[in-house]
Structure 1
């Protein structure tokens, strides 16, 4: 079981379903959500500045690609930069409603992206990811 994961998606129903499946599967102790990439980067900037204790951060991010304000690709560009290097051990799973072959290829350019899966998240996906992360 992971200690903490972050789900980034602009759809509240997707976030709710994601949380339910993760809780039922005992996949993570804590689930944090963000509605777009900008909100997620802001979260990382906030936890980076917590003093006097080790930084607790998600071990895994579920990332939607198409979101207003800041989409998944833009988030990955920022998150892959030296500015966020202290979080480079965090793995990312792209969750998308469309699986475009070009998107699959683009995702391979980011070292933190370990998989590209189709929405919605399922128990079997979490079991598969659990085995992949061991």
Structure 2
């Protein structure tokens, strides 16, 4: 079981389902969330500023289609910065898009370990456990 994961998605119903599935599968003890990439970067900066007191997410689930800052913009900024020892923080893209170009593009980011279609399931989390 992971200590802390982050979920970045602007859909409150998807977030509620995500939390229920994670809890049911005992995948993580705690989930923090942001509704877009900009809010996620702000949250990450807060965690980094208080690095001695706060846990850092071991895994980030990321939607691609969001207002203000989408998933691609988040990935570009996250990877261009020194957030969390990037070698340790893996990203799962969890999105409703099935565009082959998006899947191909996701492979250009070394910290993206999987591209999954919404909604998350217990089976998906079991599969991810084998990859972590």
When the two structures are superposed, what TM-score results if normalisation uses the length of structure 1?
A: 0.94
Partner of 1:69: 68
The match for 1:50 is 50
Q: Distance in 2 between matches of 1:41 and 1:88?
A: 17
Alpha-carbon deviation of 1:22?
0.1
Unaligned runs of 5+ in 1: none
Q: 1:101 aligns to what?
A: 100
User: Aligned partners of 1:31, 1:72: CA distance in 2, in Å?
Assistant: 18
Query: In structure 2, what is the Cα distance between the partners aligned to 1:124 and 1:83?
Result: 32
Change (3 A) 1:96 1:14: same
Output the CA distance in 2 between the equivalents of 1:65 and 1:95.
8
Deviation readout 1:72-107 (Å, 9 max, x if unpaired): 000000000134263441110001112111001100
TM-score (normalised: structure 2):
0.95
Q: Deviations over 1:49-73 (max 9, x none)?
A: 116x265211111100000010000
Which residue of structure 1 aligns with residue 15 of structure 2?
A: 15
Distance in 1 of aligned mates of 2:59 and 2:108: 18
Give the distance between the partners of 2:89 and 2:101, measured in 1 at CA: 24
Q: Residues 4 and 30 of structure 1 are in contact (CA less than 8 Å); yes or no, is this contact kept in structure 2? A: yes
